[in-house]
Copies of this chain bind each other. A is one copy, B any other.
């Protein structure tokens, strides 16, 4: 049995989900995959705060306690760019593998961080950074490398899709749909990154780097902040729906990335994607269109992607040790 010590940075929504999921799945993963994943330290803001089901002795408010504790894998679930970036750089320079759900960090500093990882013979797992539980990163990293990808088209932000679906089905304005999204926990208290399209653009950028490689990318982002009930009604009168679509495709000289509202015919595969569901359609020259669909966010789906990366990196390291 291979023991893997995890240093966990952050114990918010996804962090708590990770602890809960690991508690539930640890024995199955030991038995099926031969890896025993244990959490050694957890970075929190307030170590005195009660968190049900987690041993308080694991908590620390010092990142160094986690980063320099000799853990095998650092799981970064702090979010944001600055502190998280500093933590990830330090972990990689220590030669530790990192698993992160942080799309903002990867969209901002991805190329630099992957270069740092390579220099220090460490790896970054980031399946959780795009579309939560949908294993789209692995599909682009491995399953689809035999083919040339021509385009990626998706609904990458569950909050926007929930809002558009509610406006469409309940005949309400954006502000009311947003309140519903917040009441159901799909939207943050500050939903501006979602509404503006920035969140979807970050995810599209990560997928595009994987699919197209280091090419010149032109990005145009338009959010849903100015969508009206009238726009959605007009679409319906044409048997169409309005969806917030993130699309990347090869063009002369590079890749064009667009995040924008599109009117899609009801028969379009993305028209059937409702509420907080995410979907990605990858078009390859040989394979044609492949669609991936599922829950794109949420504590447990995202935690499942984090845990899959932890197990995958552990197995990879075991192979290196055995060789």
Residues of A within 8 A of B (CB): 17, 21, 24-25, 28-29, 31-33, 127, 132-135, 137-139, 142-148, 213, 269, 272, 284-295, 300-301, 303-312, 316, 319-320, 323
Residues of B within 8 A of A133 (CB): 144, 147, 284, 286-288, 290
Is the Cβ of B138 less than 8 Å from the Cβ of A142?
Answer: yes
Is the Cβ of A143 less than 8 Å from the Cβ of B287?
Answer: no
| Other-chain contact of A292, B132, B284, B290 (Cβ < 8 Å) | B290
Is the Cβ of A311 less than 8 Å from the Cβ of B21?
Answer: no
Residues of B within 8 A of A144 (CB): 133, 135, 304, 308
Is the Cβ of B293 less than 8 Å from the Cβ of A290?
Answer: yes
| Given A32-B213, A293-B293, A143 and B305 contact (CB-CB distance below 8 Å) | yes
A295 nearest CB across to chain B (Å): 5
Residues of B within 8 A of A132 (CB): 287
Residues of B within 8 A of A127 (CB): 143
A98 nearest CB across to chain B (Å): 16
Complex CA–CA separation, A139 to B31 (angstroms): 19
Is the Cβ of A312 less than 8 Å from the Cβ of B139?
Answer: no
A210 nearest CB across to chain B (Å): 10
Complex CA–CA separation, A303 to B145 (angstroms): 11
Is the Cβ of B138 less than 8 Å from the Cβ of A308?
Answer: no
Is the Cβ of B294 less than 8 Å from the Cβ of A288?
Answer: yes
A147 nearest CB across to chain B (Å): 4
A310's closest neighbor in chain B, by CB?
Answer: B146
A147's closest neighbor in chain B, by CB?
Answer: B304
A25-B147, A143-B308, A147-B304 are known; give 9 further A-B pairs, CB within 8 A: A25-B146, A31-B213, A146-B308, A272-B272, A289-B295, A290-B292, A290-B293, A316-B319, A319-B319
A134's closest neighbor in chain B, by CB?
Answer: B290
A287's closest neighbor in chain B, by CB?
Answer: B133
| Given A28-B148, A143-B135, A147-B25, A286 and B312 contact (CB-CB distance below 8 Å) | no
Q: Please list the 7 inter-chain residue pairs (A to B) with the smallest Cβ-Cβ separation, ordered nearest first.
A: A135-B143, A146-B307, A133-B287, A290-B294, A146-B308, A286-B300, A146-B304
